[in-house]
């Protein structure tokens, strides 16, 4: 079975400062992990995915995430926030190569302060 916990429901950062959105997972099998972004009144957009290759995964818009098995974490980071990054972010886990359920986290809303 899989589960995913996004540790913060809201995060506020100033424009130009680093972003850290935290995600912890639990999985009985080797996990596949994903981050999605949702802008207001829009569908979700896939930012990046981890599927057992490099543990540091680079995504679109300057985001990256690092898979840390020992910490069961997959935190999303960006060196410098931009106003356009204000959105909701979802961490997702599924079991690699299995048809188990895909589990979405409850989301973290990122606020960018001018």
Q: Give me the residues that bind other proteins (CB under 8 A), please.
A: 34, 41-46, 90, 92, 94, 99, 101-102, 104, 106-107
Q: State the nearest-atom distance from the C-beta of 34 to other proteins, in Å.
A: 6
Which of 99, 97, 78, 100 is CA-nearest to residue 87? 78
Cα angle, residue 45 at apex, residues 43 and 51 outer, rounded to 5°: 140
Nearer to other proteins, 79 or 106 (CB): 106
Note whether 36 and 45 are within 8 A (CB): yes
Nearer to other proteins, 86 or 96 (CB): 96
């Amino acid at each position: 079975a899989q589960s995913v916990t996004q540790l913060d429901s809201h995060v506020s950062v100033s424009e130009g400062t680093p972003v850290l959105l935290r995600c912890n997972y639990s999985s009985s099998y080797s996990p596949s992990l994903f981050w999605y972004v949702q802008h207001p009144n829009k569908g979700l957009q896939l930012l990046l995915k981890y599927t057992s290759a490099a543990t540091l995964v680079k995504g679109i818009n300057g985001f990256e995430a690092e898979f840390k098995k020992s910490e069961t974490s997959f935190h999303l980071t960006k060196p410098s926030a931009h106003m356009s990054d204000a959105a909701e972010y979802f961490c997702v886990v599924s079991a690699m190569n299995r048809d188990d359920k895909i589990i979405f986290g409850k989301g973290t809303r990122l606020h960018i302060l001018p």
